[in-house]
Amino acid sequence: MKRLPLSGVLIPLLSVLVAMFFGGIMIAVQGINPLYTYEVLFETAFLSFDGISVTLAKATPLILSGLAVAICLRAGLFNIGAQGQLISGALASAWAGYYFVGLPTLIHIPLALLFGATFGALVAFIAGALKAYRGVHEVITTIMLNSMVIAIADYLASTPFKEPDQPLTRTPAIQDSARIPDIFGLPFGFFIAIAFSIALWWLLRNTTTGFRIETIGRNRNAGWYAGISVKRVTILSMLVGGSIAGIAGAIETLSITGRFEPAFNAGLGFDGITVALLGRGNPLGVIPAAILIGGMRASGSTVQFKTGVSPEIVDLLLALILFFVTAPLLARLLKRRHENVAITSGWSN
């Protein structure tokens, strides 16, 4: 069912509004004015240049991890493993960032990004290959890979790649030549993420590879009939998703954290799932979804400071959004209205 553009925007918008309504009740229960809270949230995140800059920095990895989930959704795969792929990419790029010394920036940054993409893709490949050749469900494998990657990254950051002579589990800081700068006070990584969104949107629409991915996602039997290799497209989609998640981790490392430390990247990949679903699996829809969630993440502590609301409210709002955007009831209610407009005779079925 090709969704009308209206419902593509309406459902996410409604789910955010409904989430804010229920979140508002939770805020009111704490004895705080929810409207004031939302006002502070909005002001902090979007109404000043500094606020926007922080929001966009927070949104950057979310756009990319959202894309990593979205591209797999298009192929009919639910990539829960963006978190693991992202951590793998973050660690690989951190290593490339500190290990290579004396490279020019124009080589060092792309090289570190490539490391991130490769190692993100590697993790996703395992799940893709198991799905294609053994029929193992990707939700199971990606969840398990998340745990494995987190454990392995912990070990690597605490032993072979550990920064010497200090107690923390972390790698050394990356070289200055690997640092992604801000431009005009805005995070450069954000523009990379936007470029990826547009590129993926274009690829899905205009290339034969995009058509293969979409076809498999919508009806894999018909794809097989049409001569598309379901196995190859499954693996390819996971590879693309994994490499983008890896780049998300790499950009985070190279522009924000400056090194790999296990706790730094917590939850970015999981927020990607919310972003992808809120963006209806559309590579362009992911951008506003990520900015919204990035803004909420960015303003969380200020909101707490100014209004006294407990900081978990942001997590609660995100959970509510995820809940309502996936709530089948809401979707069905809206869909039913449109379905009746089928043209020749859809009603015989």
Partner 1 sequence: MTNLLEIEKVSKSFGQVKANDEISLEVAPGEIVALLGENGAGKSTLVKSVFGLVKPDSGVIRINGKVIEPGDTASAIANGIGMVHQHFQLVPVMSVTENLILGDEPRKLGVIQMKEARNAAKAISERYGLDVDPDAIIEDLPVGMAQRVEILKALRRDVKLLILDEPTAVLTPQETDELLDVLRNLAKRGVGILFITHKLREVMAVADRVVVLRNGKLVGTTSPKQSGEAQLAQMMVGREVVLRVEKSQAKPAAPALKVTDLQVLDDRKLEAVRGLSLEVRSGEILGVAGVEGNGQRELVEAICGMRNRVGGTVFIEGVELPNLSPRAAHDAGISHIPEDREKHGLVSSYSIADNLILNTFDKAPFAKGWIRNHDAIAKNGITLVASYDIRTPSPNLPASSLSGGNKQKTVVARELSQNKKVVVAAQPTRGVDVGSIEFIHNQLIAARDKGSAILLVSAELDEVLSLSDRIAVIYGGKIVATFDSKSADRAEIGRLMAGSNA
Residues near partner 1 (CB under 8 A) are 1-2, 205-211, 214-215, 218-219, 221-229, 340-349
DSSP class of residue 308 equals -
**Residue appearing with tokens 């070289």:** 175
Smallest distance from the beta carbon of 213 to partner 1, in angstroms? 12
CA distance 89 to 192: 16
Smallest distance from the beta carbon of 104 to partner 1, in angstroms? 32
DSSP class of residue 341 equals T
Q: Which residue, 88 or 215, has its beta carbon nearer to partner 1?
A: 215
Smallest distance from the beta carbon of 341 to partner 1, in angstroms? 4
- The encoded tokens of residue 321 equal 């959004």
* Dihedral sign (CA 89, 91, 94, 95): negative
Q: How many CB atoms lie within 10 A of CB 129?
A: 17
Smallest distance from the beta carbon of 346 to partner 1, in angstroms? 6
Residues forming beta bridges with residue 187, ordered by sequence position? 182
Q: Which residue, 151 or 342, has its beta carbon nearer to partner 1?
A: 342
Do 67 and 106 meet the contact criterion of CB atoms below 8 Å apart? Answer: no
Do 307 and 40 meet the contact criterion of CB atoms below 8 Å apart? Answer: yes
CA distance 257 to 57: 12
Q: How far is CA 234 from the centre of its chain?
A: 19
Q: Which residue, 230 or 235, has its beta carbon nearer to partner 1?
A: 230
Smallest distance from the beta carbon of 22 to partner 1, in angstroms? 32
Smallest distance from the beta carbon of 281 to partner 1, in angstroms? 13
Q: Which residue, 71 or 156, has its beta carbon nearer to partner 1?
A: 71
Q: Which residue, 184 or 347, has its beta carbon nearer to partner 1?
A: 347
Instruction: Give the chain's length.
Output: 349
Smallest distance from the beta carbon of 13 to partner 1, in angstroms? 22
Q: Which residue, 215 or 274, has its beta carbon nearer to partner 1?
A: 215
Q: Which residue, 170 or 280, has its beta carbon nearer to partner 1?
A: 280
* Dihedral sign (CA 76, 82, 86, 89): negative
Do 162 and 144 meet the contact criterion of CB atoms below 8 Å apart? Answer: no
CA distance 268 to 262: 12
Q: Which residue, 159 or 348, has its beta carbon nearer to partner 1?
A: 348
Smallest distance from the beta carbon of 270 to partner 1, in angstroms? 28
Cα–Cα separations (whole angstroms), residue 177 to 39, 86, 98, 104, 115: 40, 22, 9, 6, 15
